[in-house]
């Protein structure tokens, strides 16, 4: 009797669980297992295997890697210790080295090691074995190279009583690799060029570019998935996505580098992603912007890999990729690597690609600007402008003019020069009949008007730019204009309108992964909440924005968040905390080479509240000097208002009146209820202090009207003094006269009332 028949006969009446390990070694015995199950209905087989047996009765239960901590948001100690991968590392490290202690300093490194190793138990155990000589921080540095590769050499030295294939990660992967046929091995190595995975159609296109395979790529992918050398991920927009664990990818790259196909595979990969980036850029200014932005974000690691290879081996592809993907990367906050790539491109000698180099020089300048390096930004914008003029690239010329104008406006305070550059860009856009560039020039002119407190003109220009973007269904442009229209609304005290606009802008920015713009949207939502007196909500928005800016290394954004948090502390009478926020904010601005008059103004206000009147006088005068030099109407008005406050407290009513007169003249020019409230508040307090009760009652009426219209309550720090002045005015006039005069003030125009 045949052995199989004897075994089947023996098991026929048995009720048992048959345990089989590593049956991929005897995959050809699958029919035997099927025969056993058919003949012995009470027998069950529990088997481990690196690949399925392809039997009808087979039920597959994948064994995933251990869970690893998410490191994107700075995980807490609790979350790190909650990871099963981290716990395994600690357990094995303690077994290897009795005095191994986990602490706040090395726990993050352990989490990074486990994440780098994709939670693979064998890799983690082998890494933990290195604790005999190395600290977690030192191991991480050796394990992960600067270009993101993992050292398989370190993942060795397993216990001698284990099978050979379990003593090193390389041997463990070889076990599966050696089960493949030759074509599948080649395709596996080609697929290793993809960083972060790819769609199946992408894999087919790259492998078909120059690969010479008898097996269909899609069939090879199926076999690699079955052998657990590829992972089948969540479909991206309906198309399945495949990826490799990092250690498996390193194994594939090692084999690819030893083969003649290495250069062909990498070139095919780089060519594909150069074309992909150009398709994305072509569709960026349209209704599918968010879709393409998501695709670019998903393929970020592939773009990075393609660039790294291309800069060394095919610079023309590197320039194409950088120029095409730059706008997406800038908006998504990848400033450090974008700046590095763009500065490489900008210094290359490629006359026929000069327009693309001009574009990249502009991106480099933008990255320098948002990370607090305005001098380098100016240098790169000027370089972009010169390149654009040299090769007569009109589109790049317009964009360089706009960016250089932004430096003149926001960093140098040279508004007339900025206006000349913006108007030149506008005129050139009209001449080209380029609606996209025209919208950009209008936007910049709106930003200039906003800086000069010409809110009507700012709203007009942003509105015109938004109309062009809507006509072309350019979502990113719509969102940017909408966010800046909200900034205008905040300046004029239209908080409800600002909130509505910001919600619309934030939805687009979040959907497209524009972290930087989304952070500024949330910052402005904080300003809206602050204006409404909703200090808890405002604090949440500013703290979230600050965290986002810190993660993106945007010092300017962080400084402004600290400034706003200081204002909240000041308004809620937490003066020591307010000073702390303002000092931190000022320190950042000084580090960036900027004297910030707004922070100095608030430090002066804090000094008044703390009774340090001499210090307050110096700070306010310094703030006023800077604002006058830059021509900032809102800054001048608010500083004069605080100077009037200080003079009133010292009994210097005439000088206070003089300061307030200029304040109210500026407020009338700006047509802003937000700034009018600040002026009216101090004007009412001064009139009450001078016993001009009829005037005070009228001013109170207008002040209360504006506060009610925009939903801006009296801040807690002003409430006691304010209520005392109202009571004094009511008592001096009598209830009827007080009410009549108060109503007159409600109905009077602002300019007539104050004059």
Annotate 635-701 with DSSP letters as a single string: HHHHHHHHHHHHHHHTT-HHHHHHHHHHHHHHHHHHT-HHHHHHHHHHHHHHHHHTT-HHHHHHHHH
395 exposure class (CB count in 10 Å sphere: 0-12, 13-18, 19+)? middle
Please report where in the chains the tokens 């959907």 appear, as a residue.
Answer: 511
User: Is 487's pLDDT higher than 50?
Assistant: yes
- Determine which of 72-81, 332-341, 513-522 has the lowest per-residue pLDDT on average: 72-81
Q: What is the pLDDT of residue 17?
A: 86
- Determine which of 20-24, 27-31, 281-285, 394-398 has the lowest per-residue pLDDT on average: 27-31
Same fold yes or no, 179-259 and 632-754: no
Name the residue with higher pLDDT: 187 or 162: 187
Length of the chain: 755
pTM, two decimals, is: 0.84
Q: What is the pLDDT of residue 2?
A: 57
263 confidence band (pLDDT: 50, 70, 90): very high
Strands 43-47, 16-20: pairing kind: parallel
User: Is 162's pLDDT higher than 70?
Assistant: no
User: Is 246's pLDDT higher than 80?
Assistant: yes
Distance between alpha carbon 125 and the CA centroid of its chain, in Å?
35
Distance between alpha carbon 112 and the CA centroid of its chain, in Å?
21
Cα–Cα distances in angstroms (integers) from residue 121 to residues 84, 102, 126, 129, in the given order:
10, 19, 9, 12
Token duo for residue 59: 């039920």
Q: What is the pLDDT of residue 166?
A: 61
CA atoms in the 13 A half-sphere facing the CB of 404: 22
Cα–Cα distances in angstroms (integers) from residue 75 to residues 108, 305, 333, in the given order:
8, 27, 21
User: Is 1's pLDDT higher than 60?
Assistant: no
Architecture of domain 632-754: Alpha Horseshoe (1.25)
- Give the mean pLDDT of 632-650: 96
47 exposure class (CB count in 10 Å sphere: 0-12, 13-18, 19+)? middle
622 confidence band (pLDDT: 50, 70, 90): very high
Measure the CA–CA gap between 468 and 437, rounded to whole angstroms. 10
DSSP state of 83: -
- Determine which of 201-215, 332-346, 421-435, 518-532 has the lowest per-residue pLDDT on average: 201-215
User: Is 584's pLDDT higher than 70?
Assistant: yes
Q: What average pLDDT is seen over the chain? A: 90
662 exposure class (CB count in 10 Å sphere: 0-12, 13-18, 19+)? middle
Q: What is the pLDDT of residue 595?
A: 72
- Determine which of 60-74, 264-278, 528-542, 547-561 has the lowest per-residue pLDDT on average: 60-74
CATH of domain 474-551: 1.25.40.10
Q: Which residues pair with 566 in a beta bridge?
A: none
Measure the CA–CA gap between 494 and 737, rounded to whole angstroms. 32
Q: What is the pLDDT of residue 667?
A: 92
Q: What is the pLDDT of residue 656?
A: 95
Token duo for residue 307: 């660039």
The percentage of residues in the chain with a pLDDT greater than 70, rounded to a whole number, is 95
Neighbours of 128 (CB within 10 A): 25
User: Is 705's pLDDT higher than 90?
Assistant: yes
The per-residue pLDDT for range 404-441, each reduced to its tens digit, is 999 999 888 889 999 999 999 999 999 999 999 999 99
Phi, psi values for residue 44, rounded to 5°: -120, 145
The per-residue pLDDT for range 735-744, each reduced to its tens digit, is 999 999 999 9
Give the residue from 675, 620, 623 showing the smallest Cα distance to 649.
Answer: 620
CATH class of the domain at 179-259: mainly alpha
Q: What is the pLDDT of residue 238?
A: 65
476 Cβ contact list (under 8 Å, min separation 6)? 284, 285, 289, 293, 331, 508, 512, 514
Measure the CA–CA gap between 324 and 341, rounded to whole angstroms. 12
The per-residue pLDDT for range 523-564, each reduced to its tens digit, is 999 999 999 999 999 999 999 999 999 999 899 999 999 999
Q: What is the pLDDT of residue 208?
A: 86
Measure the CA–CA gap between 607 and 630, rounded to whole angstroms. 24
Give the residue from 463, 406, 418 showing the smallest Cα distance to 439.
Answer: 463
Q: What is the pLDDT of residue 232?
A: 86
Q: Virtual CA dihedral for 576, 581, 585, 587, nearest 10 degrees? A: 50
Q: Where are the domains of the chain?
A: 3-47, 77-169, 179-259, 474-551, 632-754
Q: What is the pLDDT of residue 163?
A: 62
Q: What is the CA radius of gyration of the chain?
A: 34
CA atoms in the 13 A half-sphere facing the CB of 553: 11
Q: Which residues pair with 47 in a beta bridge?
A: 20
Please report where in the chains the tokens 């025969």 appear, as a residue.
Answer: 35
Measure the CA–CA gap between 321 and 270, rounded to whole angstroms. 8
146 confidence band (pLDDT: 50, 70, 90): low
- Give the mean pLDDT of 238-248: 86
């Amino acid at each position: 009797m045949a052995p199989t028949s004897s075994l089947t006969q023996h098991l026929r009446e048995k009720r048992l669980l048959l345990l089989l390990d590593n049956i991929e070694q005897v995959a050809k015995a699958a029919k035997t297992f099927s025969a056993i199950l058919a003949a012995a209905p009470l027998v069950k087989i529990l088997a481990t295997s690196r690949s399925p047996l392809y039997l009808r009765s087979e039920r597959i239960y994948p064994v995933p890697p251990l869970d690893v901590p998410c490191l994107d948001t700075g995980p807490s100690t609790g979350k790190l210790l909650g990871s099963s991968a981290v716990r395994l590392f600690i357990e094995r490290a303690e077994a290897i080295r009795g005095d191994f202690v986990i602490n706040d300093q090395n726990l993050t490194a352990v989490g990074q090691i486990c994440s780098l190793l994709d939670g693979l138990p064998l890799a983690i155990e082998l890494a933990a074995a290195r604790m005999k000589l190395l600290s977690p921080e030192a191991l991480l540095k050796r394990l992960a190279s600067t270009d993101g590769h993992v050292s398989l050499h370190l993942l060795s030295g397993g216990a001698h009583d284990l099978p050979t294939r379990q003593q090193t990660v390389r041997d463990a992967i070889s076990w599966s690799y050696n089960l493949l046929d030759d074509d599948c091995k080649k395709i596996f190595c080609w697929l290793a060029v993809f960083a972060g995975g790819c769609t199946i159609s992408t894999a087919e296109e790259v492998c078909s570019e120059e690969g010479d395979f008898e097996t269909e790529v899609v069939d090879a992918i199926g076999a690699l998935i079955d052998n657990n050398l590829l992972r089948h991920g969540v479909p991206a927009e309906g198309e399945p996505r495949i990826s490799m664990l990092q250690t498996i990818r390193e194994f594939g790259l090692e084999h690819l580098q030893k083969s003649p196909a290495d250069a062909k595979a990498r070139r095919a990969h780089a060519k594909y992603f150069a074309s992909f980036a150009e398709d994305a850029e072509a569709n960026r200014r349209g209704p599918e912007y968010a879709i393409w932005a998501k695709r670019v974000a998903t393929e970020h690691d592939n773009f990075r890999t393609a660039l790294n290879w291309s800069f060394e081996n095919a610079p023309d592809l590197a320039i194409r990729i950088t120029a095409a993907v730059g706008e997406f990367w800038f908006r998504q906050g990848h400033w450090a690597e974008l700046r590095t790539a763009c500065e490489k491109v900008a210094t290359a000698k490629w006359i026929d690609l000069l327009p693309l180099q001009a574009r990249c020089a502009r991106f480099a300048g933008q990255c320098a600007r948002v990370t607090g390096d305005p001098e380098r930004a100016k240098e790169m914008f000027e370089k972009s402008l010169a390149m654009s003029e040299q090769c007569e690239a009109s589109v790049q010329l317009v964009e360089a003019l706009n960016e250089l104008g932004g430096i003149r406006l926001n960093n140098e305070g040279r508004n007339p020069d900025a206006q000349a550059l913006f108007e030149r860009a506008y005129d050139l856009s009209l001449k080209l009949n380029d609606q996209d560039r025209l919208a950009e020039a209008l936007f910049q002119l709106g930003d200039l008007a906003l800086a000069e407190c010409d809110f009507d003109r700012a709203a007009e220009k942003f509105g015109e730019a938004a109309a062009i973007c809507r006509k072309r269904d350019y979502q990113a442009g719509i969102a940017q204009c909408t966010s800046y229209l909200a900034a205008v609304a905040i300046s004029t005290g239209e908080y409800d309108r600002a909130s509505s606009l910001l919600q619309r802008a934030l939805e687009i920015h979040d959907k497209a992964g524009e972290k930087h713009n989304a952070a500024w949207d949330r910052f402005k939502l904080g300003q809206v909440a602050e204006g409404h007196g909703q200090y808890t909500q405002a604090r949440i928005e500013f703290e979230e924005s600050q965290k986002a800016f810190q993660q993106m290394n945007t010092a300017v954004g962080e400084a402004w968040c600290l400034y706003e948090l200081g204002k909240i502390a000041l308004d809620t009478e937490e003066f020591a905390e307010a000073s702390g926020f303002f000092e931190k904010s000022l320190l950042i601005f000084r580090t960036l080479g900027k004297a910030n008059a707004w922070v100095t103004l608030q430090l002066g206000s804090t000094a008044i509240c703390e009774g340090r009147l001499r210090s307050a006088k110096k700070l306010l005068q310094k703030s006023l000097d800077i604002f006058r030099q830059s021509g900032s109407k809102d800054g001048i008005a608010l500083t004069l208002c605080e100077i009037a406050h200080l003079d009133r407290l010292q009994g210097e009513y005439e000088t206070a009146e003089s300061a307030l007169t200029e304040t109210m003249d500026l407020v009338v020019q700006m047509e802003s209820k937000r700034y009018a409230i600040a002026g009216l508040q101090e004007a009412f307090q001064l009139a009450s202090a001078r016993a001009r009760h009829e005037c005070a009652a009228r001013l109170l009426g207008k002040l209360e009207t504006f506060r009610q219209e925009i939903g801006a309550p009296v801040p807690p720090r002003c409430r006691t003094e304010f209520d005392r002045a109202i009571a004094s005015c009511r008592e001096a006039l009598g209830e009827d006269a007080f009410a009549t005069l108060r109503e007159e003030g409600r109905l009077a125009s602002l300019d007539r009332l104050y004059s």
